[in-house]
Amino acid sequence: MKTKLALILLISLNSFCSGTNSGLSALAAFFGLPQTPSYGNVQFAVNVASSLTKVTVTVTGPGISTPIVQDLVKIGNTWQGIIGQIPAGTDRTFSGEGFNASNVLIQQGQVTGVTISANSITNILLVLSETNPAPPFSNAAPIIDSLVASTNQVAPSSSINLNSTVHDPNPSDTLTYLWSATGGSFNNSNILNPVWTSPSTPGQYTITLTVSDQLGASSSLSFTADVQVGYGTGYGSINVGSNSSPFVSNVISNPSSIAPGASTNITLTAFDPDGNTISYSWSSSCAGSFNDPNTQNPVFTASSSASLGPCTLSVSLSDGNGGSNLGSFTIQISQTQTVNLAPQILSSFQTALALDPSGSMVFRVTATDPENTPLSFSWNSSSGVVGTPTNTVNGNLTTSEIVWTAPTCGSNLQVSVTITDGDGNSAVLNYLPVNINGAPTCVLGLWSQQAYIKASNSEADDNFGRSWALSGDTIVVGAPLEDSNQTTITNGSNPGSSDNSASASGAVYVYIRNGNTWTQQAILKPSNSEESDLFGFAVSISGDTIVASAIQEDSNQNYITNGSSASSDNSMTFAGAVYVFVRNGNTWAQQAYIKPSNPSEFDSFGNSIAIQGDTLVVGCHNESSAQNTISNGQPAPNDDSLNHSGAVYVYKRTGSTWVEEAYIKASNPDNGDYFGYSVAISGDTIAVGSQGEDSNQNYITNGSSGSSDNSLSQAGAVYTFTRTGNIWAPEAYIKPSNPDAYDVFGTAVAIYGDTIAVGATGEASNQNSISSGTNASSDNSSTYSGAVYVFARSGGLWSQQAYLKASNSSPNNIFGAAISIYGDTIAVGGLDSSAQTTISYGNTASSDNSAQYAGAAYIFERNGISWSQAAYIKAPNANAYDFFGGVCLDGNSLLVSAYRESSSENTITNGVYGSADNSAQYAGAAYVFTR
């Protein structure tokens, strides 16, 4: 007799859409496919025979190109888990298989014809029987692994070489290929490597490859080609001399657009009417070299420092008898563009949505990279302990799995994973929040001081703490007014230089934590450090990479130097520069010197910076071009017609090489908007503050358009941009619900996943409480009290979630001058003036105003969609004008800087301490707090 095992499936469906791969939904462990406009999740809980050691569930159906396959997790006598991200639709098939200890299939069952509807729960009974029928037929669609174009910018009636690689999960399938385009023509539209000839009319044209199998399953991939007059296509300038002089009849370069350091092959056709032997002499208008400048068909290699833009290659012809002529043509020096896609999340798993205090749970994700580069996985959680990942590679699929240990309290705990490919593209998956069974809500805000940090060469007016950053157990602190003439890095605990001969050259200090003890790891100085450069004005860290800016660096260089060198030129006053440093073990070294492609005097390139993984975002709020679009992979314009409109530059690292990926401008730029005053990045989303923007709009525009109104001077705005592959595009134009003149909304901005917080230090309401949604006070009686606005993204759309005011809000508190987000916690810095030297919890904060601009840090926590103030943190040695309040959160650690703190100490004190000395005015200090 056959034993039948009932497998009950509770299907819970929710719709999640965002700019990154995020959000699963259901009750207890997940599986899924890449996110679609609507999808469902399936919860499993099944009691089976003890002889089974593995239960596998497979989901197939129309629109599911690759079957979803995951193993359930056994807890007690129950196998459980949740299939997530199942595309909504009809005719879904759920197949269950049970295996014994020898991995032999002994139980099998199937349910067909299931309809998955978003936002609903469906119950299914699946019976596993002791039979071994043939597995259900499944035809997977072909997969396009890569699509590479020789360029995406071409002149009219010119060509682009295309090359694609594909495969089919069903090896016996026969594939056919079809190229199509919105203009132009192909030499052969049914091969993988055709040549597309652009139309004669300039514009943007979409090129699409569709791959189909003999059963009708197909996949498509598209990209946009930009056809414009002036793009290098290897055109010839033909100059005909006398009958006895040789002349150029044709010239071709392949490719016609190359990156700095890349090469192009030149094919020249020349003719001499008298049949004389022609000699050749090649030259170029840009930096570079020919493999043989005296051959007919040389190879030209652009210098790695070649300026982006047109480059004219010229050839001098001579017949040896006095006859000579010239020929020339133009190529384009640009950052090469390939269609480079982010990793694709194929499935995900989570054991449950609730567990006991200190219990453990499995999280799993399977992903692939279309370009087949190696994948790395970075796991994070808002609380609890993330175990060491186990990564398994199977062909072009990589699975990463962790065991997460829950804390003893809490709710809505978030686990996420960031998947990064070898080209630096990333995808983020946020799992459904987890609750702790029967455990109390965590009492948040129980913070205590862990360390008081001073520079090892601390001196008056160094402004140590003017910039700050925290990542795990590493802290970075900038001191832009430090004065030493050192141009090397000090690795280790040795004190910094006591030299003061290079006033305001600047320095950056690195500290690491071992247990509860902090020590100095390095002091960073750039290789071209000079007086008044203000190195350390802004800093950011991601893992083993630190970036630091010098906004008054003066070189006129307009390209990136990968390596430890930097320009000694000083002809472009206060142009600004950014430096990249990397850590190998305990040793730091300079990796790159980054300059924009359109530097200009007084641009202050690097006034704001943010790095995540291999993507660097640089704000340049004084940049002055009138462009109102994004340049992806192209140099920025040398235009200065819109004073201080501002710009943002995005840089991408592959290996150890950095390139400029995009030049981003607001869609509504204007004089004095200061777009780029603040920047933040999370995954493939960038948030940019434009504190001088002047529109009176009081709502969010989800899309690419910003208001052209200018009736509210310096009201401020924030813009978001998202990346697909290598292409950045506008996502939203964010305005608060109560804008007013001089609110400077966008002074500070922070982003974490689908949450953005924005500081408006000039906001003037007298409210001292939190409002949910779009509610915000229209009062203006408390000048420069400041406010913070919280925005949340759902389905790719942003909305205002909360309006935060300090519980001790008062005039000139400048609340919102610094902001940091981690999970459901926001830290806000403000120039509160109380003399309190302790930490208060809940909604309590001192109303004392006896220590002007001493500063404070405020902690806010989110429960669901509701925010509340959880803590009010003061320095233990609070003094007037300390400017305590530069905040950075990471997990359960909080860094707070006070760049005008004035003690003369030059050591680290681990524990609760702050010097009462004030003999070194504005030396600066940093404080670490933990919970």
pLDDT digits (tens, 9 = 90+) for 480-516: 999 999 999 999 988 888 899 999 999 999 999 998 8
Q: Are 293 and 419 contained in the same domain?
A: no
> How distant is the alpha carbon of residue 232 from its chain centre?
31
**Could you give the CA distance from residue 82 to residue 29 in angstroms, rounded to a whole number?**
4
In a domain, 160, yes or no: yes
User: What pLDDT is attached to residue 444?
Assistant: 52
Q: 176 pLDDT band (50/70/90 cuts)?
A: very high
User: What pLDDT is attached to residue 76?
Assistant: 65
Q: Measuring CA to CA, how many Å separate 119 from each of 14, 116, 842?
A: 4, 9, 36
Listed residues 406, 436, 466: the one ending a domain: 436
**Could you give the CA distance from residue 370 to residue 221 in angstroms, rounded to a whole number?**
11
* Burial group, residue 131, by CB count within 10 angstroms (0-12, 13-18, 19+): exposed
What is the domain extent for residue 256?
237-333
Instruction: Look at residue 172 and give its three-state secondary structure.
Output: coil
Q: E-strand spans in 769-855?
A: 771-772, 787-794, 797-804, 818-822, 825-830, 840-841
**Could you give the CA distance from residue 694 to residue 118 in angstroms, rounded to a whole number?**
41
User: What pLDDT is attached to residue 664?
Assistant: 97
Listed residues 333, 352, 377: the one ending a domain: 333
DSSP 850-885: SSTT--EEEEEEEETTEEEEEEEE--TT--TT--EE
Range 303-312 burial, b when 16+ CB lie within 10 A, else e? ebbbbbbebe
**Could you give the CA distance from residue 203 to residue 321 in angstroms, rounded to a whole number?**
47
Residue 198 pLDDT greater than 70, yes or no? yes
Q: Are 220 and 241 contained in the same domain?
A: no
Q: Are 46 and 132 contained in the same domain?
A: yes
In a domain, 378, yes or no: yes
Q: Which residue has the higher pLDDT, 446 or 701?
A: 701
User: What pLDDT is attached to residue 893?
Assistant: 93
Q: Are 804 and 874 contained in the same domain?
A: yes
pLDDT digits (tens, 9 = 90+) for 705-761: 899 999 999 999 999 999 999 999 999 999 999 999 999 999 999 999 999 999 999
Q: In this structure, what is the dihedral angle of CA atoms 530, 532, 537, 539, given to the nearest 10 degrees?
A: 0
Tell me, letter by letter, the H, E, C secondary structure of 33-65.
CCCCCCEEEEEEEEECCCCCCEEEEEEECCCCC
End-to-end CA, the chain:
60
Q: 128 pLDDT band (50/70/90 cuts)?
A: low
Q: 347 pLDDT band (50/70/90 cuts)?
A: confident
Q: Are 871 and 809 contained in the same domain?
A: yes
Q: Which residue has the higher pLDDT, 582 or 148?
A: 582
Q: Are 252 and 194 contained in the same domain?
A: no
Mean pLDDT on 103-125: 65
Residue 445 pLDDT greater than 60, yes or no? no
pLDDT digits (tens, 9 = 90+) for 178-191: 989 999 999 999 99
User: What pLDDT is attached to residue 48?
Assistant: 55
**Could you give the CA distance from residue 868 to residue 862 in angstroms, rounded to a whole number?**
7
Mean pLDDT on 591-619: 96
**Could you give the CA distance from residue 892 to residue 889 in angstroms, rounded to a whole number?**
7
Q: Are 589 and 676 contained in the same domain?
A: yes
Q: Are 466 and 409 contained in the same domain?
A: no
Nearest to 672 by CA among 717, 642, 702: 642
Q: Measuring CA to CA, how many Å separate 367 from each of 395, 460, 494?
A: 11, 52, 44
Mean pLDDT on 563-582: 96
3-state helix, strand, coil in the chain (%, to 5): 0, 50, 50
Mean pLDDT on 276-281: 87
Q: 39 pLDDT band (50/70/90 cuts)?
A: low
**Could you give the CA distance from residue 797 to residue 779 in angstroms, rounded to a whole number?**
28
Instruction: Look at residue 192 and give its three-state secondary structure.
Output: coil
Residue 293 pLDDT greater than 80, yes or no? yes
In a domain, 55, yes or no: yes
User: What pLDDT is attached to residue 523?
Assistant: 97
User: What pLDDT is attached to residue 230?
Assistant: 58
**Residue with token string 């939203």:** 732
- Helices and strands (DSSP H and E) totals, the chain: 0, 71
pTM of the predicted model over 0.75 = no
pLDDT digits (tens, 9 = 90+) for 866-893: 999 999 999 999 999 999 999 999 988 9
Q: 69 pLDDT band (50/70/90 cuts)?
A: confident
User: What pLDDT is attached to residue 884?
Assistant: 96
Q: Which residue has the higher pLDDT, 789 or 164?
A: 789
Nearest to 894 by CA among 551, 469, 281: 469
Of 197-201, 243-247, 293-297, 666-670, which has the strongest mean pLDDT? 666-670
pLDDT digits (tens, 9 = 90+) for 617-669: 999 999 999 999 999 988 899 999 999 999 999 999 999 999 999 999 999 99
**Could you give the CA distance from residue 274 to residue 311 in angstroms, rounded to a whole number?**
32
**Could you give the CA distance from residue 519 to residue 511 in angstroms, rounded to a whole number?**
5
Of 56-65, 266-275, 445-454, which has the strongest mean pLDDT? 445-454
Q: Which residue has the higher pLDDT, 345 or 562?
A: 562
Q: Are 41 and 161 contained in the same domain?
A: no
The token duo for 151 is 């360029």
**Could you give the CA distance from residue 48 to residue 903 in angstroms, rounded to a whole number?**
68
Radius of gyration (C-alpha) of the chain in whole angstroms: 30
Cα 336-339-343 angle, rounded to 5 deg: 125
Listed residues 227, 248, 274: the one ending a domain: 227
**Could you give the CA distance from residue 774 to residue 791 in angstroms, rounded to a whole number?**
10
pLDDT > 90: percent of the chain: 53
Q: What is the CATH number of the domain that holds 666?
A: 2.130.10.130
- C-beta neighbour count of 391 within 10 angstroms: 12
User: What pLDDT is attached to residue 329?
Assistant: 72
**Could you give the CA distance from residue 143 to residue 639 in angstroms, rounded to a whole number?**
44
DSSP designation for 276: P
User: What pLDDT is attached to residue 541?
Assistant: 97
Mean pLDDT on 678-692: 96
Nearest to 736 by CA among 673, 683, 693: 693
User: What pLDDT is attached to residue 8?
Assistant: 28
- C-beta neighbour count of 203 within 10 angstroms: 13
Residue 87 pLDDT greater than 60, yes or no? yes
The whole-chain average pLDDT of the chain stands at 84
Q: Measuring CA to CA, how many Å separate 415 from each of 18, 405, 409, 420, 892?
A: 17, 11, 15, 17, 15
Contacts of 655 (CB under 8 A, 6+ apart): none
Q: What is the CATH number of the domain that holds 287?
A: 2.60.40.10
Mean pLDDT on 171-175: 84
User: What pLDDT is attached to residue 44?
Assistant: 55
- Number of structural domains in the chain: 4
Mean pLDDT on 827-845: 90
DSSP 424-449: S-EEEEEPPPBEETTPPPP-TT--EE
Lowest mean pLDDT among 47-56, 624-633, 689-698: 47-56
Please count the residues of the chain: 931
DSSP designation for 905: -
Mean pLDDT on 426-435: 82
Q: 606 pLDDT band (50/70/90 cuts)?
A: very high
In a domain, 911, yes or no: yes
In a domain, 557, yes or no: yes
Q: Are 786 and 854 in contact (CB under 8 A)?
A: no
In a domain, 614, yes or no: yes
User: What pLDDT is attached to residue 441?
Assistant: 61
In a domain, 809, yes or no: yes
Lowest mean pLDDT among 303-312, 469-478, 549-558, 919-928: 303-312
Q: Are 265 and 366 contained in the same domain?
A: no
Dihedral of alpha carbons 901, 905, 910, 911, sign: negative
* Burial group, residue 85, by CB count within 10 angstroms (0-12, 13-18, 19+): buried
User: What pLDDT is attached to residue 332?
Assistant: 76
Q: Are 424 and 465 contained in the same domain?
A: no
Mean pLDDT on 392-418: 86
Q: Are 394 and 540 contained in the same domain?
A: no
Q: Which residue has the higher pLDDT, 631 or 12?
A: 631
In a domain, 518, yes or no: yes
Nearest to 418 by CA among 721, 654, 681, 683: 683
